[in-house]
Amino acid sequence: MNRRSKRKFDVLVVGGGPAGMAAATRASECGLRVAIIDDNPALGGQIWRQGMQSTPDPDYSTWAMYVQSAGPELIVGSAFDQPSAATLAVEQADGTYEVAYDELILATGARERFLPFPGWTLPNVMGAGGLQAMVKSGLTVTGKRVLVAGTGPLLLAVAAYLRKHGADVIRICEQASWGSLARFTFGLLDQPRKLTQGLSLKRQLAAVPFTPNSWPVAARGQSAVESVTISRNGRLEDIPCDYLACGFHLVPNLELPHLLGCRIQNGCVHVDEFQRTTAANILCAGEPTGIGGVELALVEGQIAGFTAAGRFSEAKDLFGERKRLKQFARKLDQAFRLRPELRSLPSDDTIICRCEDVLYSQLRRYASWRTAKLQTRCGMGPCQGRICGPATRFLLKWDPDSVRPPIFPVRVESLAFAASPVIPEQPTLTGGL
């Protein structure tokens, strides 16, 4: 194994979404040597993922231009381990490398939360953002009947996107109540930009029934989903469809912050006012510190970038803006909180861990995530609990509390790389103890 010399940056940013782009821009503008690591060759993260034939989001274009002129390096790869202090092991297409840093900014983003219900493992039952990402990457849905379900503002954005691409969106099922949605909308009055965005989406979706108090209870089909039973105001209804796009808001990606020893509190990375985590020289920005959307991620990213460069007064100038956007994050959290009835969605024979096909009846008898892992292999497949972890956190109130390297399945060569000691240039003789 060729161990290429370790590369070192003043500031290393993990994640090329809005928070990472903003952090890398500000740190680079302060004259530091900066790199962004992302496993996607294109910047923008999940929220600004580019479609094959669609025009990019204007905010993305603006920030892509800032990043380009500030000039951080882009490393395409996945950080999977910390082989030594202030160093990450990164797997790239052509090998595995060590990247060292003075300051590390974690901008690892979020993923959809999935809740298990009978039939959720059928092909063509996807995440809401999941189906959107698939359409952006070439799946055609023209004329296909799509049921959009789950919770969160993403559902409207996804439904509008799918309609624009020719899908017949037959309904949007939102588990939140009319009351909490009304309070949320009213609360947007001090966020004119978000209110305008929301109203514009509602206009585009004028022809699509939107039903609060409703959620999928079962999906059926032979080789793929053919119909979905929904519960709406306590009544069951069967809806034939070709795709079910179903996601229950977002959960932060905490694997790397966890591995690096950052304190996690209430499911989020704990940070101080300068976005510093409890781990030395590690900052965090965007969704991992609490789901709050693009604008908050951009502001937190800039604060982290300035802080990493020691420009505390520039960072402070953004505190007011962050406070305002944090209020929106709190409203999001309240409005789209999961209702307790969703805990009864899985039946005994519903698969919870899709990698290892572990049933709900097998899991329920255990008191903790750790015991269930040891006894049933739940969370021990290739996704390493990224899907069933958040689900069992909600269903069984378990705390998925352990992360081990590699935090991502990697090639055997990468494992060997991370485990091999650094060989000194000169052989050294060691004496007795």
Partner 1 sequence: MLEPVAITVNGVSLAVPRGTTVAAAVVLAGQPCRNSVSGQPRGPLCGMGICFECRVSINARLHSRSCQILCEQGMDVTTDE
Binding residue for partner 1, selected from 127, 212, 252, 305, defined by CB under 8 A? 127
**Does residue 130 touch partner 1 according to CB under 8 A?**
yes
Judged by CB under 8 A, the number of residues near partner 1 is 38
CA distance 281 to 297: 20
Query: Element (H or E) spanning 58, and its range?
Result: helix 58-70
Binding residue for partner 1, selected from 129, 216, 292, 301, defined by CB under 8 A? 129
* Percent helix, strand and coil across the chain, each to the nearest 5: 35, 25, 40
Binding residue for partner 1, selected from 54, 84, 140, 334, defined by CB under 8 A? 140
**Does residue 113 touch partner 1 according to CB under 8 A?**
no
The residue range among 116-124, 212-220, 276-284, 293-301 that interacts with partner 1, by the rule CB under 8 A, is 116-124
Residue 157 or residue 351: which is nearer to partner 1 going by CB? Answer: 351
Footprint on residues 217-236 left by partner 1 (CB under 8 A): 223-224
- Residue 97 structure tokens: 């490398």
**Does residue 373 touch partner 1 according to CB under 8 A?**
no
Closest CA to 300 of 282, 315, 285: 285
Contact mark string toward partner 1, 53..72, x via CB under 8 A: x-------------------
Cα R_g (the chain), whole angstroms: 23
**Does residue 132 touch partner 1 according to CB under 8 A?**
yes
Q: Is 208 helix (H, G, I), strand (E, B) or coil?
A: coil
CA distance 383 to 122: 18
Footprint on residues 179-218 left by partner 1 (CB under 8 A): none
Closest CA to 99 of 78, 114, 116: 78
Give the N- to C-terminal CA distance of the chain in Å, as an integer: 31
**Does residue 376 touch partner 1 according to CB under 8 A?**
no
> CB of residue 351 vs partner 1: minimum separation in angstroms?
8
Footprint on residues 409-428 left by partner 1 (CB under 8 A): 409
**Does residue 381 touch partner 1 according to CB under 8 A?**
yes
> CB of residue 389 vs partner 1: minimum separation in angstroms?
11
276: which DSSP letter? B
Binding residue for partner 1, selected from 8, 145, 354, 370, defined by CB under 8 A? 354
CA distance 148 to 133: 14
Binding residue for partner 1, selected from 131, 259, 269, 325, defined by CB under 8 A? 131
Spell out the residues 6+ positions from residue 149 whose beta carbon is closer than 8 angstroms to its own.
128, 155, 171, 172, 173, 174, 214, 215, 216, 228, 230, 244, 245, 246
> CB of residue 116 vs partner 1: minimum separation in angstroms?
11
Residue 292 or residue 389: which is nearer to partner 1 going by CB? Answer: 389
CA distance 276 to 273: 7
Binding site for partner 1 (CB under 8 A): 39-40, 46, 52-53, 111-112, 114, 121-127, 129-134, 137-140, 223-224, 351, 354-357, 381-383, 386-387, 409
